[in-house]
A = this chain, B = another copy of it.
Amino acid sequence: MISFECDYAEGCHEKILERLRETNLEQLPGYGSDMYCESAKQKIRAACGCPQAEIFFLVGGTQTNAVVISSLLKSYEGVVSASTGHVNAHEAGAIEHGGHKVLAIPQHDGKMDAGELRSFLQDFWQDENHEHMVFPGMVYISHPTEYGTLYTKRELESLAAVCGEYNIPLYLDGARLGYGLESPETDVSLPDVAKYCDVFYIGGTKVGALMGEAVVFPKNNMPPHFLALAKQQGALLAKGRLLGVQFDTLFTDGLYFEISRHAIEMAQLMKEGFQKRGYRFLLDSPTNQQFLILENRQMQKLEKLVRFSFWEKVDADHTAVRFAASWATRREDVEKLMEVLDSCGNA
Contact = CB atoms under 8 A, between A and B. Distances in A.
A12 interface: yes
Given A21-B17, A96-B134, A101-B96, A225 B8 contact: no
A59 B205 CA distance: 14
A313 B127 CA distance: 10
Contacts of A129: 90
Contact of A75 (B3, B26, B133, B232): B232
Nearest to A104: B104
Contacts of A224: 74
Nearest to A326: B27
Given A96-B99, A96-B100, A239-B205, A232 B76 contact: yes
A344 interface: no
Nearest to A307: B27
A299 interface: no
Interface residues of A, number: 80
B66 A234 contact: yes
A14 interface: yes
B14 A17 contact: no
Interface string A219-251: 000001101110111111111011000000000
Contact of A76 (B30, B64, B225, B238): B225
Interface in A62-104: 62-67, 70-71, 74-76, 78, 89-94, 96-97, 99-102, 104
What are the nearest 6 A-B pairs in CB distance?
A63-B234, A11-B24, A92-B231, A92-B232, A9-B27, A93-B134
Given A9-B27, A104-B104, 13 more contacts: A6-B30, A11-B23, A63-B235, A64-B234, A90-B132, A92-B131, A92-B132, A96-B99, A101-B102, A135-B225, A135-B228, A206-B238, A233-B233
11 contacts: A9-B30, A11-B23, A76-B228, A92-B134, A93-B99, A99-B99, A101-B101, A123-B313, A128-B310, A132-B231, A211-B237
